[in-house]
Structure 1
């Protein structure tokens, strides 16, 4: 006679366990509020790996990583695992992490040169996206050495060479790849771009050489014209430095010599005036100068950017002080017939009176006139005014013959 179970007892306690299971809440279940975040922590369902893997927080992921990077596996398997890991980082646009993974794969020094070429090419792509163009080029060239027919390496190398403006090398690189696959569209596009840019650079270089030659010829013509007219240019002073007593004495003795050298140099013209105007020769061989008029009584200036050497001062004064006088001339006394013109000999601290009927060339050719900073300067005073008398007092004034 078989024994029958008594009451609610069971021989394995399953009924009691099931009863508790239906009444007690499962402690390992996902919470209702954060189940999606918790689900994303499971390695199989992760959309993105964490930057740093903490074994305490992510024990499953740390375990999987240790399996992937098992040092006991063959180098080829390890390198391939790092390649796959780098590719995942690359897809996530985490290029720095991708570079580290590809680098680890290369450090395994596996015998599969094709795999090494892929690791180098992929690392070149990551470098390129980070803007490390030279590092990208180095990896692409190294990959091409390992596997010359690896077109992705050739494409990346050509792309880097274009970015670095090494267009001739880029063309050579494209031609090497097109010999492997003449129909490769990427290389065809890169070659067309490199060729177009190379032609533009060569065209700009030719234009620059023509422009440079023209400017050199114009400068030589200008130098010859100034020298032929015996016009003296005052060179800009050198940067100040501490000088010995002997140097000061030598400087005083050589002052006249430096002025003589200025006659042959155009360095003074290299310093542009505040307006940017400079002396130039017109088509008829006439010099046109920027001329500065100074009115010390009112601390005002006038500027004529192209004063012909043949023009007389009175002609310009008639325009500058014609029917409409400047607003700062409140006393209305700057009439052409009442103006006196002077230039200053800064070295001797003397003034030379200029006749308004004189031409600019006549003044420029005076023995004591030196063109400073490429711009002749003329002082304008009102004859008989109190300021004129005060300004001229104590100064030695010469009249031009």
Structure 2
């Protein structure tokens, strides 16, 4: 049975084939008005992966994805694939998608502690750039449980503590990392900054306590200096009120009388001339 296609080895057949190729349009080629859009749909030449992969619009990409994330592959292989995908998103500064990819890798629950530690650490970095410092710190803590000496996790944990204003913790994490690598530049920078802020925080705390004590002494001196009284119904007797009493406690006194729906008190400085004149001839119940 003869082949329906020309034999390329035969010169005559080749010429016929080329003539046919030139006279008939190539099917499946790019259209002149949309060649850039169609070119960008080829996975190898894509500038940026689509957020949603529609098999009808991106059949080649959907096919590759099904191969990469095939459930028949081992959890370790699938976790590595998601890690690489997350790294690609991270390089593109698409940190939200990077977090999703790293999370999918962790869901595979592979038994490789180093791989899981990397997934946690990388997700922590993506969370950090999203401003989710608490989530980033939680991921770093999880990574260190799997791999206590993971230097990248220690660095990112120190930075997270610094952002969260946990200056003492940031210094401690830096010290732990410097025991692994005493010349690690980032740890040295973070430690210097955290130590400076820690000292400033301690100084401000001392100042605040001193100010609080000063204000407390002034308040106590004022309360000791002033005297508060209320008069009985006749105005002939006075009852001294403790400055620390509440209004309710005073109103519940059996000799207190509210006039015109308004509680009234007499407040004066205990050693003042007015106080001495006012109290003269009055009976004071202290």
Q: In the alignment, which residue of structure 2 is the partner of 1:289?
A: none
Q: In the alignment, which residue of structure 2 is the partner of 1:97?
A: 97
Q: Does 1:347 align with 2:259?
A: yes
Which structure is larger by alpha-carbon Rg, 1 or 2? 1
Distance (whole Å) between structure 2 residues aligned to residue 266 and residue 216 of structure 1? 17
For these two proteins, the number of residue pairs brought into alignment is 246
Q: What is the CA-CA distance between 1:74 and the residue it aligns to?
A: 2.3
Distance (whole Å) between structure 2 residues aligned to residue 148 and residue 365 of structure 1? 78
Q: In the alignment, which residue of structure 2 is the partner of 1:165?
A: 165
Q: What is the CA-CA distance between 1:138 and the residue it aligns to?
A: 0.9
- Structure 1 segment 60-79 matched on structure 2, within 5 A: 60-79=60-79
- Structure 1 segment 282-301 matched on structure 2, within 5 A: none
Q: Does 1:87 align with 2:66?
A: no
Q: What is the CA-CA distance between 1:139 and the residue it aligns to?
A: 0.7
Partners of 1:223 and 1:266 within 8 A in 2: no
Partners of 2:155 and 2:186 within 8 A in 1: yes
Partners of 2:113 and 2:147 within 8 A in 1: yes
Distance (whole Å) between structure 2 residues aligned to residue 60 and residue 348 of structure 1? 88
Distance (whole Å) between structure 1 residues aligned to residue 185 and residue 148 of structure 2? 18
Q: In the alignment, which residue of structure 2 is the partner of 1:156?
A: 156
Q: What is the CA-CA distance between 1:80 and the residue it aligns to?
A: 1.0
- Structure 1 segment 303-318 matched on structure 2, within 5 A: none
Distance (whole Å) between structure 2 residues aligned to residue 149 and residue 158 of structure 1? 14
Could you say if the C-alpha distance between residues 366 and 40 of structure 1 is closer, same or farther in structure 2, counting changes exceeding 3 Å? farther
Q: Does 1:132 align with 2:132?
A: yes
Could you say if the C-alpha distance between residues 261 and 362 of structure 1 is closer, same or farther in structure 2, counting changes exceeding 3 Å? closer
Q: In the alignment, which residue of structure 1 is the partner of 2:110?
A: 110
Deviates more, 1:111-120 or 1:53-62: 111-120
Match of 2:243 among 255, 261, 264: 264
Q: What is the CA-CA distance between 1:28 and the residue it aligns to?
A: 2.2
Q: In the alignment, which residue of structure 1 is the partner of 2:274?
A: 362
Distance (whole Å) between structure 2 residues aligned to residue 175 and residue 154 of structure 1? 10
Could you say if the C-alpha distance between residues 23 and 224 of structure 1 is closer, same or farther in structure 2, counting changes exceeding 3 Å? same
Q: What is the CA-CA distance between 1:49 and the residue it aligns to?
A: 0.5
Q: In the alignment, which residue of structure 2 is the partner of 1:336?
A: none
Of Structure 1 and Structure 2, the greater helix share is in 2
Distance (whole Å) between structure 1 residues aligned to residue 81 and residue 169 of structure 2? 34
Q: What is the CA-CA distance between 1:72 and the residue it aligns to?
A: 1.7
Of Structure 1 and Structure 2, the greater strand share is in 1
Q: What is the CA-CA distance between 1:20 and the residue it aligns to?
A: 3.2
Structure 2: runs of 5+ lacking an equivalent? 1-9, 248-257, 262-271, 280-286
Q: In the alignment, which residue of structure 1 is the partner of 2:119?
A: 119
Distance (whole Å) between structure 2 residues aligned to residue 169 and residue 47 of structure 1? 42
Structure 1: runs of 5+ lacking an equivalent? 1-9, 234-252, 269-345, 350-359, 368-401
Give me the TM-score of the superposition, normalised by structure 1. 0.55
Distance (whole Å) between structure 2 residues aligned to residue 205 and residue 112 of structure 1? 46
Q: In the alignment, which residue of structure 2 is the partner of 1:41?
A: 41
User: Aligned Cα RMSD in Å?
Assistant: 3.2
Q: In the alignment, which residue of structure 2 is the partner of 1:219?
A: 219
Could you say if the C-alpha distance between residues 152 and 365 of structure 1 is closer, same or farther in structure 2, counting changes exceeding 3 Å? farther
Q: Which has the higher contact order (CA 8 A, sep 6+)?
A: 1
Give me the TM-score of the superposition, normalised by structure 2. 0.76
SS of equivalent residue, structure 1 residue 143:
helix
Could you say if the C-alpha distance between residues 260 and 32 of structure 1 is closer, same or farther in structure 2, counting changes exceeding 3 Å? farther
Q: What is the CA-CA distance between 1:45 and the residue it aligns to?
A: 0.6
Partners of 2:127 and 2:133 within 8 A in 1: yes
Q: What is the CA-CA distance between 1:147 and the residue it aligns to?
A: 1.6
Q: Does 1:179 align with 2:168?
A: no
